[in-house]
Amino acid sequence: MRLMVTGGAGFIGSNFIRYMLSQCEEYTIINYDALTYAGNLENLRDLERNPAYTFVRGDITDAVLVDQIAGSGIDAIINFAAESHVDRSIDDPGIFVKTNVLGTQVLLNAARKNGVSKFIQVSTDEVYGSLGNEGLFTETNPLAPNSPYSASKSGADLLVRSYHETYGMDVNITRCSNNYGPYHFPEKLIPLVITNALENKEIPVYGDGLQVRDWLHVKDHCAAIALVLQSGRSGEMYNIGGNNERTNLQIVKTILHELGKPECLIRHVGDRLGHDRRYAIDAAKIRSELGWQPQYRFETGIRETVEWYLQNEPWWKRVKSGDYMRYYEKMYGSRLVKA
């Protein structure tokens, strides 16, 4: 089976490619990625000589190149490519609409034109908006996105749905909760906390830090997508979540404890605009229909992840240098003013 994986040089995409190639010899994978600030070929260095793996640098909004790749005998497209960071979407929404909405439509068109048998859109629980203290997101919840990021992901989901309804394309949408694990870009909470703590830098906690996220190990997410690829029913959406609700402060304190670092590194800063209070996933559908179960206990997964960052300091030091650091300092400074 020949797969086109878009955004495969990012956090989840690179884990997915490694997972698929370790599972089954029948897969060959084209990793199609624009290498934005979040794309990093170092994430896949171990696969560079694997004959089942090919990298093509390209933008998902480039209709000509996407059509050429999709027309090269691709059986399935799995779309991970996106602008993925909520804070950046608040700072500059335009690129989120271009990549996440237009890019998805370009991919759908190419899939349809070239008779690609399956299209999987890797979406997010953020499309459902925010929960109060009770309840879980199910696949029938209405879309209620609150950030430009989640609005653009919702727009993409609706386009995917429309290609199924209008053209009968075999599509699936997966909506996953927060991932953590190796190769996570250190602008996101968990890798930011680990790497800042290792550098004895302040840890910015937005607002009161009592917002809740439902954390899932990235390998469990990859296994779920693989099952959807093999057995997902055409046109269906599947929620994916780890049943691991934690407040942000709990996450920060757990990591500081793992690293033996003091809690005085925590600094409460200005809150994220439109900050969603709580996400929590009901994953009953994918469990009962496809037999998916998360394998990781959070305590084990977070320990392994902290260990990975300890072992891979050159990776995150390189990622955190240069343009990214300048951007981080600018955003951090503006939050201190608002605090």
What residues act catalytically?
A: 125-126, 149
Q: Between residues 28 and 152, which has the closer beta carbon with respect to ligand DAU?
A: 152
Q: How far is the CB of 325 from ligand DAU (least distance, A)?
A: 14
User: Do the beta carbons of residue 306 and residue 255 sit within 8 Å?
Assistant: yes
Structure tokens at 142: 């209405």
User: Least distance in Å: CB of 197 to ligand DAU?
Assistant: 12
Shortest spacing between CB 10 and ligand DAU, in angstroms: 10
Q: How far is the CB of 43 from ligand DAU (least distance, A)?
A: 16
Q: Which does 204 bind (CB under 5 to 8 A by kind): ligand NAD, ligand DAU, none?
A: ligand DAU
Q: Shortest gap between Cβ of 181 and ligand DAU (angstroms)?
A: 13
Kindly identify the residues of this chain, within the stretch 10-39, that bind ligand NAD according to CB under 6 A.
10-13, 33-36, 38-39
Chosen from ligand DAU, ligand NAD, none, partner binding at 302 (C-beta under 5 to 8 Å by type): none
Bridge partners (DSSP) listed for residue 256: none
Residues 286 and 140: their CA atoms lie apart, in Å, by: 14
Q: Which of ligand DAU, ligand NAD, none lies near 10, with the C-beta cut-off 5 to 8 A by kind?
A: ligand NAD
Is residue 121 a contact partner of residue 171, using CB atoms and an 8 Å limit? yes
Q: The tokens of 223 are what?
A: 């296994």
The H or E element spanning position 286 is helix 284-290
Q: Of 53 and 187, which has the nearer Cβ to ligand DAU?
A: 187
145 burial via Cβ count (<10 Å: 0-12, 13-18, 19+): buried
* Residue whose CB is nearest to ligand NAD in the complex, by number: 10
Q: Which residues contact 14 (CB under 8 A, 6 or more apart)?
A: 8, 40, 43, 44, 183
One DSSP character per residue, 248-264 reads HHHHHHHHHHHHT--GG
Q: Read off the amino acid at residue 41.
A: L
> Which residues neighbour 10 within 8 Å (Cβ) at sequence distance 6 or greater?
33, 38, 39, 40, 43, 80, 81, 84, 185
Binding mask of the shown chain, residues 177 to 206, with x at each position contacting ligand DAU by CB under 6 A: xx---------xx--x-----------xxx
Rounded Cα–Cα distance for residues 107 and 78 (Å): 10
**Residue list 98-157, contact with ligand NAD (CB under 6 A):** 99, 103, 122, 124, 153
Binding string, residues 65-84; x marks residues near ligand DAU by CB under 6 A? -------------------x
Locate all alpha helices (DSSP H) within 92-201, ordered by sequence: 94-96, 103-113, 148-167, 189-198
Q: What is the per-residue binding string for ligand DAU in 218-257, x denoting contact by CB under 6 A?
A: ------------------------------x---------
Q: Look up residue 109 and give its two tokens.
A: 């068109």
In angstroms, the CA 337 to CA 167 distance is 51
Binding mask 222-261 vs ligand NAD (x if CB under 6 A, - otherwise)? ----------------------------------------
Output the smallest distance, CB 169 to ligand NAD, in A.
Answer: 19
SS3 call for 171: strand
Could you give the string, one character per residue 198-217, with x where binding to ligand NAD holds by CB under 6 A and - elsewhere? --------------------
- Rounded to a whole number of angstroms, the CA Rg of the chain reads 19
Residue 86 contacts which entry, ligand DAU, ligand NAD, none (Cβ below 5-8 A, type-dependent) = ligand DAU
205 binds, among ligand NAD, ligand DAU, none (CB under 5 to 8 A by kind): ligand DAU
Q: How many residues bind ligand NAD (CB under 6 A)?
A: 30
